[in-house]
Structure formats: structure tokens, C-alpha cells
Amino acid sequence: MGLTIAQKIIKAHLVDGEMIPGSDVGLKIDQTLTQDATGTMAYLEFEAMGVDRVKTERSVAYIDHNTLQTGFENADDHRFIQSIAKKHGIYYSRPGNGICHQVHLERFGKPGKTLIGSDSHTPTGGGIGMLAIGAGGMDVAVAMGGGAYYIPMPKMIRVNLTGKLSPFVSAKDVILEVLRILTVKGGVGYIVEYAGEGVKTLSVPERATITNMGAELGATTSIFPSDEITKAFLKAQNREEDFTELSSDPDAVYDKEISIDLSKLEPLAAMPHMPDNVKSITEIGKMKVDQVLIGSCTNSSLYDMLKVAAILDGKTVDPSVSVGIAPGSKQVFNMLADCGALSKLIAAGARILECACGPCIGMGQSPNSKGISLRTFNRNFEGRSGTADAGVYLVSPETAAAAALTGYLTDPRTLDADIESIRLPDKFLINDNMVDAPASVEEAKDVEILRGPNIKPFPKTEPLWDTIDAKAVLKVGDNITTDHIMPAGAKILPYRSNIPYLANFCFTRCDEQFPENCKKYGKGIIIGGENYGQGSSREHAALVPLYLGIKAVVSKSFARIHAANLINAGILPLTFKNAEDYDKITQFDDLELPNIRASIANGAESVVLKNKTTGETYDVVPMLSGRSRDIILAGGLLGYTKESSK
């Protein structure tokens, strides 16, 4: 039986386990990336391991999230990360150099290599044929220290692409269609692999848009073949030597397959407040728009920006619309300036933002109250924009540009603009002067780590208790995101290295009293619905509950990264064996997991959850394998790593 592309890469990097779907596999990691919202904690964890120098082929620390500096906190974190990078063998991408995924695709990504990053949109690298996976910061720290990265062996979905996209229909519409078909839960436990004759019609930036937003499917990652299109992109980046051809075997077996005829797609939009709430622009109809934002790691490539410039060329944005455009990297920004496209954007009345994540994570550009915002981003969770009652729609750059001109949601196919002639350059502008190389081994001895007063220690962990006896301090519904658990935004993100301060905001979008209730009771259990913890890779959504005394989360199902982060933090993830038992528990019920340590140590497939308030008992299933069972018993990954190194 033949292998898929992903299976070939996994097989080449397998250091532990067997490639049996659902069983744990340990992978050798070639590259890592961090960003500054998750990086400080990841590097504190790396320091705690006592490893002098990273053992990966390439590790890069990017500054792209917390670039709005309204106090000392972000600047201090950047200085800390820069000094850590210099001392421990990590490349440092300075603020202004661009968004981690865009820059990594341009300058560092290699087909056939493994990459994990402390950002959920790391699968962007799948557009260039990498096995690129989002992970918690602790997993990234372990990989930098030379440890394997463990995941349940995924199943495989093949998305067969036929035909060719019509003018003004883009790669964003492809992934929106996949989300419409599979939903935000449909990719859990799978790797999505794109194949078929339609693949050859898509450039690397278009492929990267699709793999980037594959994170919203809940998939482990997404991947495209590495072919002549990939080779041409790498050659244009002066990296032709990094090319490796990759394709699936003709007799490769997939667990699921869907087909999409690119020629039949039309412009789509994800409506509030979920990326899979997808309808066509024609279905939604005419709708007044207050804000348009173009950029993010999903749609900030040179190709995207050139199309937007062509649409806006010689025109003026509607006076009722606030339009912001953020190029994805310094390379893109420079090339827009050199070819005159930047001048077209400025002349049309667009506000040019810095090369950073910015409004995608709520770092500025919040829309007006009850405003309608069209964004080329990847997430439209309620409140993520910074405006609680805003309606955020996810669209392509073409659809966004059309609305910028008309003031209404507009089918871009009605526009008169020449975008079909736009091609990627044969040679990109290469200037890596904003990437600092680390110090040599000898020089590193004299590098001082610079710590600001906002950087607080890692929360205290402890081995799993013999019995967990705690109140249900919170009960939430389906599709709770990491934005619900630990919000982002300009007011909170600067404190990502200060867990005690962040605790004041934990789950306040669901229950304003949650932090106070946790402090009152000292310990707690959270009850959740389907797909609990979807969204970002931010491990803060586990570390802050850990700090607040959460001992277990019992839900109908979990998002992959968040479940792993809970385990790494020493919080026990459990699922209801019978989903209807969820309805039988009320907030503040007294719950008990008796003899839980012994049950986990003995590998119990299910354990008893007692409701001492009602007298009922429920069967719940630990979301643990052999290794993750040991991690939970040790009180988290740091404790496990220290025990294993003795």
C-alpha cells in the first residue's frame, strides 16, 4: 500500500511509535518558530529545561503580534526574546520584518521538513510541502531541546481539486468552501492533503492561504505537493537548493475524500461568528460595510496585495468605509513600493498598517459599535476584533477591495479591473537584514538575558492528586474557543508573560465571575461541550486555568492543540462517554473523581465522575495515551521532562 505525502514525511521523521491512526507517534522536528505573544513563555520553559543551545536545524523567534507598544511590557518581552535567541542559537526576526508564517514561507520553509510553531496557523508551511503543525509553547520548547514532538497518528483526508479558478475567485474561496463542507470540527484527527489537476493552477502563496486557514478545520495540518510550482517559488526566493519533489503514491489510501471543481466556485464569505458559517456573496446580498481590513497571515502575500492594488488603482475608497491594509512582510512591503503598487493603495485612501498581525488578533483597528467589518483574516470569533457587538465577515482580498470601493458587500466579479495578468515575479527582493543570527557558542557565554518586571515565573504544577474533589466552577457550550478562555487584544496581550495578571480575564466573556469563583473555591472542574478549546494554540488558555486551580476539564470533545496544552499543564482532559450526561451537571455542583491517580496509572479506559450534589455518577474517558498518561501523573510536561532526565 502506498503512502500519502504526509505519511512519507512522518515515516522519515518517526522516532517513536507506530503509524497506526490514533496511536501516539514521536517525530523528530527540523524547524521551530515562535511569535512574541507565545514566545516569552516558551523560552521561559526552554530555560527551565537547562539546555544550552537549540538542537533543531533552524529555530526562529518572530516579533509580529505585540508590536503595539502602549507601555513597557511588549518592548521588555521583545528584548527578553532577542537576548534568549542570541544566547541559545535561535534566529531573531525583528519587529517590522513581518508575520511569522509569511516570512517563514518566504525565507526558511523547506519541502519535506517538519516544523512546529507556537501559533496555530503554522500549517501555512504546508503550502510549500512541509509537515507544519501548530503546537503549545511547551511542546516547541521540548523540540528546541532535541525532544520528539508527539501527536496521535492522524487519518488522511484527500481534497481533490479540478478545474481552474475564475477571475475574482481566489484561494480564500477554496478554503471557505472546504470549511462549509467539513465544518470547524471536520478536520479533527486528520491531515488534509490537496491533490488533483487543479493543484497545478495554484501558486505557492495561494496554496499557503488554503493550508493556513486549514487550522480552522481543527485538522492536525494541511499539505500540498512539492512540485515545479514550488521549485519556481523557491528559485525566485534564491533558495532553489531547498527544493525537494514530493507527491503521494498512486496507490495511497485516504480515509475520506472530497472533490471541489475550482471553476464552479464563486466568491464566498464566512458570516459571524464562526469560520464555517459560509455563504456566497450573492446569497448574503447587499449589506452596508463599515470597515475593510486586508492582510493577516492568510492573505498578505505579494500576490494578494498586487490584486488589491489593481482593483483600487485610480479609484477612491468609499467615504463611509475605514480601509486598512497590512503587507505580510518587509519583502512584500518593499516590492509594493518598488513597483508602484503601494502608491496606488495610498492614493485610493487606504490606511497602510505595519507588517504585523495587528487587527487579526485585536491589536488595533477595532470596528465601530455594531459595525460590519470585512476582513481577509482567518477567524471571526465573537469579540475577537475588540468590539463585542461587531459583525465580522471573512472574505477574499478581491471581495474586500470591492466593498472598500462601493461601501457594500459586493461581488468582485462585477468590477472592471485587470487582475488576470498579475503574476508572481521571477525574482523576489532578497534582504534579510532584519533577521539577526545567534551568537556563536563561545560568544553566547557572555550574552546576558534581559528580563523586564512584567515577566513572571511559570505557574506552579504538582503531580496528579489521588482524588479530585471540586466544584463545577463553570459550564459552557459547544465550540468554546481559546479567545473565550483567554482573550487576546491590545489590552490583554501585553501581559502574556504575566500569568497572575492574565488570570483576571480568564473566561470573563462567558462568566464575569469566573476568576473570583476560582479564587473563592481554590480549585475547580470545568464542564464543556463539543470542540472545547478550538482556535489558537495559545497555551495560556491552559496555564491560566492551571494558576486558578482548575484540576480537570470534562467535555463532549476537545480541539487537538488545546487538549495537548491541558495535558502539558497537568490539567486532566476527560470526555463524557454518554454525551447526554453533560445536561445533568449544573454549575457549582460538587463533583468528585475518586481514586483518579490510581485509575490513570492503571490505564483505565473510563473513570467515574461523581456528582455529590445530585447523587448521580457518570462514565468519563481520559483523553490520554501511554506517554500523556505519564505526563498527567507527573503534573505536566515540565515535571515529566525533569523526571525523565534523571
Residues assigned a catalytic role? 64-65, 119, 379, 536, 538
CA distance 503 to 484: 13
Measured CA to CA, the distance from residue 213 to residue 221 in angstroms comes to: 10
219: nearest Cα among 251, 187, 194: 187
Taking CA atoms, 52 is separated from 145, 241, 336, 444, 445, in Å, by 9, 30, 41, 9, 9
For residues 558 and 533, the answer to whether their CB atoms sit within 8 Å is: yes
**Strand ranges inside 346-440, DSSP E:** 351-352, 372-375, 391-394, 435-436
Please state, as a whole number, how many other Cβ atoms lie within 10 Å of the Cβ of residue 462: 11
Cβ proximity of 296 and 376 under 8 Å = yes
Half-sphere exposure of 159 (CA within 13 A, CB side): 27
The DSSP letter of residue 359 is G
**Helices assigned H by DSSP within 522-573:** 540-547, 560-569
Residue 636: name the closest of 49, 38, 29 by CA.
Answer: 49
Alpha helices in 145-259 (DSSP H): 171-182, 204-213, 228-236
- Cell representation of residue 44: 521561559
d(CA 632, CA 491): 33
Distance CA 178, CA 199 (A): 15
What's the distance, CA 345 to chain centroid? 29
Kindly report the CA angle at 391 between 385 and 397, in degrees rounded to 5?
75
Sign for the CA dihedral angle at 229, 233, 236, 239 comes to negative
Q: How far apart are CA 362 and CA 380, in angstroms?
A: 11
Is there a contact between 635 and 570 (Cβ–Cβ < 8 Å)? Answer: yes
d(CA 132, CA 571): 26
What span, in angstroms and rounded, lies between the C-alpha atoms of 26 and 130? 17
Q: Which of helix, strand or coil describes residue 432?
A: coil
Give φ, ψ of 396 to 5 degrees.
Answer: -80, 165
How many C-beta atoms surround the C-beta of residue 347 within 10 A?
14
> Residue type for 564, please?
A
Q: Rounded CA gap, 487 and 199, in Å?
A: 37
HSE (side-chain half, CA atoms, 13 Å) at 47: 16
Measured CA to CA, the distance from residue 351 to residue 340 in angstroms comes to 16
Gap between the Cα atoms of 174 and 192, Å rounded: 13
Cis previous bond, 121, omega within 30: no
| Residue 50: other Cβ atoms inside 10 A | 10
Q: Which amino acid, one-letter code, is at 252?
A: A
Pairing of strands 58-62, 31-35: parallel
Measured between alpha carbons, how far is 156 from 509 in angstroms, rounded to an integer? 35
Whether the Cβ atoms of residue 45 and residue 54 lie closer than 8 Å to each other? no
